Structure 1
C-alpha cells in the first residue's frame, strides 16, 4: 500500500513516452494540440492496448512510463505548495518492512537488473548504488557511493549472500518508497496535518516465493490482511494471520469511523509530531509503538548526502 508523491516514479516527465504512445496509436506528434486532439478521439480500450504494446514499465529507477504530471490544470502547482494550500487532513501512511523485495525477489524478472538472483554479488550491489548516485547528478559521487556501501553493508559480511540480497532490497525500497514517504510525512506534519505512521512487519513464510532467503513483508503484502484478497498468490491463513487481520482491519476501521486508528480508547498509536518525527506503529501479531521509522536511511539520504554535496561547493583546490 505504500506510495509517495515525493518518489521518483510519482511525477514522471513522460513527454518521450507519451509521444511513443501516440505513435503507437497512429496520432501525429508534431504538436501537442494535434496529438491531444487525436488522442481524445481514441477509446480507453485502444489506449490500454497501446500502453501494453509499448510497455508500461521503465527500465530505470523511474519504474513507470506514465504518471500524473504538473500540467497547470489537474495539478496546478508542485506537491509541496498543494499540500500547504489544501485543507488539513488526517492521514494514515506506511510501508511494508521490505518494500523493495517486491521488485528484487517477488516479481523481479530474471533478466531485470534489480533482480537479486543466486549469483547476485557485491559488484552488482555497487553497480546499483552507482545508479542511485549517478555522476551526472552528484559532484562527489565516488565518495557518496563508498559511504552508501558502508551504510548498507556495515553490519555484516558482504560475502553473505542472504545479507547482500536483503541490503539490496533495503536500498531499493529506501529509494523508491521509504525515504520519499518519510519526506511526505514530514511535509504534512510541518503543514499541521495529523499523520499516523506505520510499518507492516508481519509475513507468513507461505506467502513468499520458493527459494526466497528473506521471507519478510514486501510491497502490497499487507493487502490480504485488509481485504482478504491475495494479489501475489493465495496461501492458507493460520492463527497468526487471522490475528494480524483483526488488528489491521480494526485500526483502519477506527480511523474511518473516528479519524483515529485507536478508536475511543487505548491511544497506543500516536500521531507523528514535530518533536517525534519518526514514531510509528510496528504492525505484527503484537504491535508496538516505537521511534526510528527507517531512521538510518532517512538520515543518510536526506541529511548526509546533501551535506556532502554542499561541502563540495566550498572545497578550494590547492594550487600546484
Structure 2
C-alpha cells in the first residue's frame, strides 16, 4: 500500500473562495482572469503550518520549511497552494511549513538602474520574512537554526539568491532550488530598466529617475496593469518575463560567482526536470509570461528552417554577435540538429527546440550554480526529475516528458497541465520527493533509508539522482550540453545563458 494518500485537490486558482482563506495577494503584472478584488498593496503576510502533536517536537524545535512561490517574479500568491497538501505531506512529518508573499512585477522589481530605484524590492520583502522567522519561529515551536528556503521556478531562483546575498544568507540554513537558478537570464537582468521606462511612458511619468520614482509612487496599480496590457506582458526572448531581479550593487553587492565564494557554505538541493521548457514551448502555458510557445495548429509545419530562424533572430542575432553571428548560429544549429540536412518530421524539431530552451533557461544555469557552489565547498545535492504521468498529455502531443513544475501534483496537489488519477508509480514518486525534502530539512542531507544522495565532489562534480518511481544515481547529467555551452561562453563575449556581455555585464538592449 502506498504511504501517501491521493492529494486533496486545491480549489482552482481562479476561485476567490480559496483566496478568502488567506491574505490578499500582491499585485501581479496581469490579472490572468483573477478578480481584481483579491489583490492589494497590503499583501506582505506569511502563513505558518505546524505539527498538531507537540509531543513530536525535538528539543531544539521543529525544522522550518519556507515556501517561496514562483510565477516569473510577476504573478503568484500563497492562496494558490492551499493548506491541505502542505499539512498532509510536510507538517504531518515533523516540519513547520511557512508560505510567504512578496511584491511582484511593477511594485516588486521596477528599476531605474541607479540608486533612486535599484530594484529587487521583492527580494528585500523575502529577506524580511526570513528575518522575522529567524527571530520569532521559536515561539511557534520551530528551530531558528534550521530554516530551509524552498522554491520552484522563480521561487527556485529566489532561494538561490537568498542563499548568497549578504543581507539574507544568515537567516537560512540551507536551500532547495527547484527549476530555477540565479544564472538564468530571466532570474537576473538589467532589461527590467528599459521595461520600467517603457511603462513610465505609457503611464505618462517622466523618465528621469527621481521624477519617475515619485510618479510611480503616486500611480494606482490599475494604471500599471493597463500600461502592461498595452506593451504586452511577455517577451519573445531568452528572458521571458518583463520584470525580474538584477545585480544592483546592494542586495547583490557583487556578481554571483564572487558572492558564492564569499558566502558561508550551506547545503543546497538543486535540480530540474528532463524537459523543462516543454511547459512553455509545447503546452504554451502561462501565456502572460511566455511568448516562445508554438501554437498547436502549427506543430505539423514546424521544420528545420523554423528552428534556424529562431536561433538567428532570438538566440544569437547579428546585432549581438556582429561578424561572428553566423559562426555562432551554425554552432548552435549543428549541436542540436546535427550535420544532416535530411528533413525530419516536425516532432523531431519541436523536441530539439524544447531541448535547446530547456538548456538555456534551466539546465545550464542550474549546473553552473551547482558547480560554483560545490567548488566553494558547499554541500550540493543534484537531481533530475524525468518522471511523468502519461495521463497528463493528449495522445497527439509531439513531446511528452517531465515538464516544468511537474513536482506540483506530488507536493501540493496542484495539476498545472491537467488532473490525473495517481497510479502506483505516482505514489512511489511522490513518496521519494516528499521523503527527500523532509530528510533534507531535518538532516541537511536528502538521503533516506531507501535512497542515498551523495553530494557533489571534485572527482564526481555532476553525479545526479535520476528522480522517478525507481530512482538511481547516474555519474553525470547533460554533460555534452554543458560542455557545449561552456565552450560557447568561453569563446565569445556575449554570454547567451545570462544574457550579458562578459566585459561590461550589460544586456544586449543597452548596447
TM over 0.5: yes
Deviation (angstroms), 1:271? 1.0
Measure, in 2, the Cα distance between the counterparts of 1:276 and 1:27.
54
For residue 480 of structure 2, give the secondary structure of its aligned residue in structure 1: helix
Q: Which residue is equivalent to 1:85? A: 262
Aligned counterpart for 2:383 among listed residues 198, 220, 241: 198
Distance 1:51 1:209, change over 3 A: farther
Q: Which residue is equivalent to 2:144? A: none
* Cα distance per residue 1:59-90 (max 9 Å; x no partner): 22211111112222333222222222222211
1:98-177 matched pairs, under 5 angstroms: 98-107=275-284, 112=291, 114-115=293-294, 117-130=299-312, 131-138=314-321, 139-154=323-338, 158-177=343-362
Instruction: Note the residue ranges of structure 1 that are not aligned, 5 or more in a row.
Output: 311-320
Q: Which residue is equivalent to 1:317? A: none
* Cα distance per residue 1:79-123 (max 9 Å; x no partner): 2222222222111111111011111111167x9554272210011
| Larger RCO (CA under 8 A, 6+ residues apart) | 1
Measure, in 2, the Cα distance between the counterparts of 1:283 and 1:79.
28
- Identify, as 1 or 2, the structure richer in strand: 2
Q: Does 1:21 pair with 2:204? A: no
Contact 1:158 1:164 (8 Å CA) reproduced: no
1:1-320 matched pairs, under 5 angstroms: 1=152, 2-13=179-190, 14-29=192-207, 31-42=208-219, 47=224, 50-52=227-229, 54-107=231-284, 112=291, 114-115=293-294, 117-130=299-312, 131-138=314-321, 139-154=323-338, 158-209=343-394, 211-263=396-448, 265=449, 268-303=452-487, 305-306=488-489, 309=492
Contact 1:56 1:66 (8 Å CA) reproduced: no
For residue 117 of structure 1, give the secondary structure of its aligned residue in structure 2: helix
For residue 301 of structure 1, give the secondary structure of its aligned residue in structure 2: helix
Contact 1:12 1:65 (8 Å CA) reproduced: no
Residue range with higher mean Cα deviation, 79-88 or 270-279: 79-88
Deviation (angstroms), 1:301? 0.9
Instruction: Note the residue ranges of structure 2 that are not aligned, 5 or more in a row.
Output: 1-151, 153-178, 494-511
Contact 2:299 2:346 (8 Å CA) reproduced: no
* Cα distance per residue 1:188-212 (max 9 Å; x no partner): 1122111111111011122125631
Measure, in 2, the Cα distance between the counterparts of 1:5 and 1:308.
22
Deviation (angstroms), 1:275? 2.0
Distance 1:144 1:256, change over 3 A: same
* Cα distance per residue 1:121-140 (max 9 Å; x no partner): 01111122323233344454
Measure, in 1, the Cα distance between the counterparts of 2:483 and 2:358.
15
Deviation (angstroms), 1:173? 0.7
Distance 1:121 1:112, change over 3 A: farther
Residue range with higher mean Cα deviation, 142-151 or 219-228: 142-151
Structure 1 length-normalised TM: 0.86
Deviation (angstroms), 1:38? 2.3
* Cα distance per residue 1:223-258 (max 9 Å; x no partner): 112222123332222221111111111111111111
Aligned length: 306
Measure, in 1, the Cα distance between the counterparts of 2:331 and 2:475.
24
Contact 1:206 1:235 (8 Å CA) reproduced: yes
Distance 1:146 1:105, change over 3 A: same
Measure, in 1, the Cα distance between the counterparts of 2:316 and 2:458.
29
CA RMSD of aligned residues (A): 2.6
Measure, in 2, the Cα distance between the counterparts of 1:78 and 1:175.
19
Contact 2:304 2:343 (8 Å CA) reproduced: yes
